[in-house]
A and B are shown apart, each in its own frame.
Chain A
Amino acid sequence: MELMTPLFAILCPAIAAPLILLSRKHPNIREGWTLVASIAMFSIILSMAPTVLKEGPIECIFFQTLFPGVYFGFNVDAFGLIFALTASSLWILVSLYSIGYMRALKEHAQTRFFFFFCWAIFGAIGVALSANLLTFYVFFEILTVSTYPLVIHDQSPEALSAGHKYMAYLMTAGCFLLFGVMMTYYLTGTTDFTPGGISALGSASRVILIVLFFCFMLAFMKAAWMPFHSWLPTAMIAPTPVSALLHAVAVVKAGVFGIVRIVCYVYGVDLMHGLGLWLVLACIAGFTMIVGSFFAIAQDNLKRRLAYSTISQLSYIILGAALLAPNSPSGITGAMLHIPFHGYMKITLFMCAGAIMVATGKKNISEMAGIGKQMPVTMLAFSITAIGMCGIPPACGFISKIYLCFGAWALQPPYGIIFLSIILISSLLDVIYFFPIIYTAFFREPEGEGSGTGEVEIKEAPIFMVVPLSITAIFSIIFFIHPNAMFIFELVKTAVASLGL
């Protein structure tokens, strides 16, 4: 079905960006544009969901390229819509949050911050909706470049060197992606994402296909799989809203999204199994899940611990894609569900970390003794989502993890047990690195100050920050009770069904 709706969606941030630049003298109007654009974009994207569910993917061709058989445009299918919905709904909340954060800290260059934030979202939504690899590449690069000014926002020498590392990793990845895109085009004459895989790819030689697959994997360093993860903790030097939306949702999810696209929509089940690539992918994911969690345990800086947790959680999604098997849709269902669910939970955690920093100036976990009494709302949200992250109800992490477990269990005998135990061990490690934070916050007495009075003043972060993080925490619970909120569950079912397993 052809509609222009996807174009309108992507235009929202593109129009808002110059307006933000123009109204740089009036902070209130400037932030107004961000909010208007984010709400408009979310409503447009949400309005596409029923259409996609009923009538199949929405096609939107901008122009034919001069490469025969390749057009530049969007093809909104159920899977793309899941990512788009996650990113755009969270953009509204993070915009609110960043207004509070930036103003509370009196940050410099706020116009630049909001300007590039718009472009980053532009890139992320473009990635989600793109119809083929070429379009995907274009938006992927826009996403990389536009996040650079956000990462180095602080402009200190450390921020700059972190930014350089960020660029070095992600641009190298971009080169591999470009090679992969052109190679796919050269081999098959098309770059369209096809549910179940591009069939013409099967006729290429095994060696080329395996090399190409590794190029794609390197291209998606954005997914922070080990050992190519170290840009992510480094990028945590960015302001917290950036870490929250981009390095928990938009950027890293774009990488994972790409991997799922490659596995399910370019290579397909048959090739993944025929070449044994699923096992390679599953091993990478398993390794990252376990090792990432160990790294997380070792961190004292809260944001860095969350970053390593992100690394480990992203690999759940990669593992789910790797578990794609002819007869079992559970693994990939779990992976697709984990994209929005992890997004909502992780963003809450990051926003809590930011709120703590704004309210008390504390960045390290060891300093946070007794902070649960000082900031009850924030820490309650933190606890709920942290528990969800470990896969314990009542937050939505439980649902996606249980699907992943089913997916692993469905494998043939030796692998089934191995990957099931990896998932369980990793969840256990999640518990190990999250519970000390909760324990410290609520049950440990703060040292020194206010000795013995027991009465701690409640000192929350600004309302602009507390409200968004409460909303995301509430949504994490809503997704558990009612996974079909925002059509997520139906979209996942449609997407999985279209793969023809």
Chain B
Amino acid sequence: MSRNKLGVIGAALTLAVGVLSGCTGGEAVDVGDGGGSAGGAGGVLNAAIGGEPDQLDPHKTSAYYSFEVLENVYDTLVEPDADLKMVPALATKWTTSEDQLTWTFTLRDGAKFSDGSPLTSEDVVYSYERIIKQKLNTAYKFATVKSVTGPDPATVVVTLSAPTPNLLANLGGFKGVAIVEKTNVESGKVKTAPVGSGPFKVAGYTSGDSIKLVRNDAYWGDKPKLDGVTFTFVKDPTVALQNLRSGQVQWTDNLPPQQVKSLRDGDDPVVESAPSTDYWYVALNEARKPFDNPEVRRAIGYALDREAITKAAKFGLATVNQTAIPKSSAFFYDYAPYSHDPDKAKQMLDQAGVANLTLDLMVTSEYPETVTAAQVIAAQLKDVGITVKIRTLDFAQWLDEQAKGNFGGFMLGWLGNVDPDEFYYAQHHSGGTFNFHKYANPAVDKLLDQARTETDQGARKQAYEQAAKLIVDDASYLYLYNPDVVQGWSKKVSGYDVRSDRAIRFRSVALGK
């Protein structure tokens, strides 16, 4: 979720993401007309993304824009396939000790960084220790890691303090835990000219304008068909679409949401969507009266018409959900107790002795869908006698206010989650780092702690379902919807698929004429 911040923005304006993994092994169809255009067989794909990466150090950035680029430059030990199952990447296999506390990974033979130097267990140890010791952005993913060692160049041993059933997701969920090169990091070049072992390497970075990637011929996997990928930063979705239509770019995830439906019906550009693992929600400040009363929060749950909110905020490009985890996930829990029932809501508020309630609802212009949704929410809550004061802030200020607890309620989204722990722990555990709305339920704490280390998948799923039920019943979060990922590309592009985790993979894409 560190990619949350900008990622969500992507979602807001654009929704999008990517795809491909499904084709990794399979042959993408080479539509090339064989004639060979000027620069060689593969050609360079121009991709327009909604903003500029803050920096390209995978361990230090939290911007989704950075990860759109880095996905194609770096590798992790394992990586999610199209169904978000962890599959081999730099590690070809792994074993787990009986007590679940020692994991031994075998590294791929012949893996190299793009500068030609070999990638060994030393690099894995360096990368993980860097994250842990310097408390970098993804340090939380190593919370149970006691030590990382490399007994020989092809073996990495990870020792844990407690069983960690989601270790693979932690070590490979996204490129924030990528394997970096020590000399590249120590020279400081990693910020603008990172060296990875992925299918492409960074060839140029023009601040404010573009990042150029070229094929990494030292890549261990199937050689990419493209000669390179150039990412340009186009903030305005209308402009990005014009670029796609006029052939200046061949791929973008920055499409005007209101046009997506009609674009999907056309065949050039190709526009596709896939359900994402993101979710959007409203949280009420439980440190403030009367929102400390679960009855009041539940009443608001009944007052909301999620269908209408989704329609307004996402132009229908989302699936209504009263829990966090989307239908496509193995951890989906089918539970929807809140019907849209203003009368019931009013009754509940009366019984709770609440009248003339005013809700200070904080939203951010960084994610315009929250601003739109807030207006619909305000209208719906007015029907049950609650006055909503919408406060629209820029994201920096929003985060500040949130940290200070200075809000009645807020709407935000979480992006790119894979494991259920990521969906619940930081948000709903009383000691969670993102529990700014001050939810506390000892039963939920216990279930989340237990599920964290539960190695039996069935029992783990059950624990999360119990926790989810309590969270929904307590209305800790009022879940609204799971948005779709929407991306568009030129008809000349083949071998690309939209991925539900928003990873953008160009490794098996080909460009025809």
Q: Do A and B come from one complex?
A: no
B: which residues have CB within 8 A of A? none
